[in-house]
Amino acid sequence: MRKVLTIALHEYWINVRRPDFIIFTSLVPLLGIVALVVSLFFGRQAGGAIVRMFDSGSDVTAVVDRSGGFTPILPRFEEEYVQYGDEAEARTALENDEVQRVVVVPDTYRQEGEVTVVTEGSRFSGSGTSGLRAFFTAHLVEEIGDETLQARLIDPYDAQVEYIGEKAQASGGVAGEILSFIVPFLFGILLAVTIFVSSGYLVRSVAEEKSSRVIEIVLSSVTPQQLLAGKVIGLGALGLTQILVWIASAAGLGGGLVVLAGILLPLFTRVEVFGLALVYYVLGFGVYAVLIAAIGTLGSSFQESQQITGIFIFIAAIPMMLTGVIMTNPNAIVVRVLSWFPLTAPTTMMLRLPLAEVPWTDIAGSIVLLLVTIPLVVWLGAKVFRLGMLMYGKRPGVLEIVRLLRHA
């Protein structure tokens, strides 16, 4: 175990200092910063729009009412709408940044419905007129005495949809429902991305040890299993580091910490889903990383190895492509099959868990299968590894590999 750790630390430490790793990792935050700077310099309006988006408190609309239907302004709109008697006066207020737009309601409004909106900014940043609908509706229905009818006119229906043939469970309203789907979906994507990123490092690491011929020296000190495990742990951590930097920088730049909290909170309300997603993440990564590292040794160059391992990244992504099926019928036979098959189980289960009451047999079965698969792929992987690492020159065919494996 100590040797596994030595290898893991070495792999992590050597690679984390590589210039290309540092550049690639900082690329995403840098691009974010560049985008932000560009938008600040070249689109003050855009900047203004962002500010307005996040700081809605300062959004005030001047209303010049010539129809009389909006005088006086209803008390609940008083903070965001201010009455102006004269259009010129309202325009001055707009120029002085006291208001963000001016709405002129002509006396022909009732018949024609046309109003004039004067706003700062450009077509690019939007006029901010969408918020006006609520203001207009509220004032128009005010003439109706019946409050219940008013309420219905403003918000005509609240649909309680029941889907036949599916036991969707929604807790915490629409937002909760969306979040409880998005979060595991993101987890699934995170797994696919981690596999993708780390597999690149894994393949490069084994290809380098192979082409520099250092591998046999290493194999005289440690077993192929130890080497494989050390690499998977070290480079898995490396991939995770990269992704965490990306997520953190994206969250920081996008002001998205709130978003992040919004994602994490529902997870803690359904701890079992979160816990299981984590279990599937770790197990899924283990299976894929070992496979990729082992198969990666068979190529004679980095590029060739990467081609061979590309197929596994594709398999990991299959359930993502079937999101539609999983969403509409989380307990369909095809979904259950994908849930049991170790290579698709992690991503499938991540998508499926929050959507339905997954039978415990599926959960237990897929986890047990994954747990059995890992030692199996490590054992088989070590054989392929032993074989591939010391085989120089041409890439063997599938039949040859099977034949050689029996003798390895």
Partner 1 sequence: MTESVLSARNLCKRYGGHVAVDDLSFKVQQGEVFGLLGPNGAGKTSTIRILMDIFKADSGEVELLGGRPGESRERVGYLPEERGLYRDQRVLEVLTYLGRLKGVDGATAKDRALALLERVELEEWSDKRVKELSRGMQQKVQFIACLIHDPELLILDEPFQGLDPVNVEMIKGLMRSLVSEGKTVVLSAHQMNLVEELCDRILLIDEGRALLYGSLKQIKRDFAPNSVRVRAAELPTAIPGVIGSERQGEVTLFTLEGIGAQEFLAALVESNVEIESFERATVPLNDIFVAMVQGNSQSEQ
Provide CB contacts within 8 A for 237, sequence distance 6+. Answer: 8, 12
Of residues 193 and 219, the one with the C-beta less far from partner 1: 219
For residues 242 and 197, the answer to whether their CB atoms sit within 8 Å is yes
Query: Measured from the CB of residue 232, what is the shortest distance to partner 1 in angstroms?
Result: 17
Q: How far is the CB of 213 from partner 1 (least distance, A)?
A: 3
Q: Tokens representing 125? A: 């940043």
Relative orientation angle of helices 271-296 and 360-389, to the nearest 10 degrees: 20
Closer Cβ to partner 1, 214 or 368, answer by number: 214
Q: How many CB atoms lie within 10 A of CB 330?
A: 22
Q: Cβ of 262: how many Cβ atoms within 10 Å?
A: 14
Q: Are 365 and 340 in contact (CB under 8 A)?
A: yes
Taking the complex as a whole, the smallest distance from the CB of residue 220 to partner 1 amounts, in Å, to 4
Which residue, 231, 209, 200, is CA-closest to 388? 209
Phi, psi of 245, rounded to the nearest 5 degrees: -60, -45
Minimum distance from residue 375 beta carbon to partner 1 (Å): 19
Nearer to partner 1, 105 or 401 (CB): 401
**Closest CB to partner 1 among 7 and 345?**
7
One-letter identity of residue 133: R
Closer residue to partner 1 (CB): 234 or 319:
234
List the strands of the sheet with 81-83, edge to edge.
Answer: 81-83, 61-65, 101-105, 116-119
Rg (C-alpha) for the chain, rounded Å, is: 30
CA–CA separation, 351 vs 336, rounded Å?
12
Distance between CA atoms of residues 359 and 184, nearest Å: 18
Which residue lies nearer to partner 1 by CB, 204 or 270?
A: 204
258 Cβ neighbours under 8 A, 6+ residues apart: none
Provide, rounded to whole angstroms, the least separation between the CB of residue 212 and partner 1. 4
Considering the complex, what minimum distance in angstroms separates the CB of residue 381 from partner 1?
16
CB of 397 vs partner 1, minimal distance in Å: 13
In angstroms, give the least distance from the CB of 234 to partner 1. 12
Residue number, 145 or 393, with CB nearest to partner 1 = 393
Residues forming contacts to partner 1 in the complex (CB under 8 A) are: 2-3, 6-7, 10, 14, 208-209, 212-214, 216-223, 386, 390, 392, 403-404, 407-408
Residue carrying the six token digits 């030692």: 375
> Which is closer to partner 1, CB of 18 or CB of 44?
18
Give the span between the Cα atoms of 96 and 123, in whole angstroms: 20
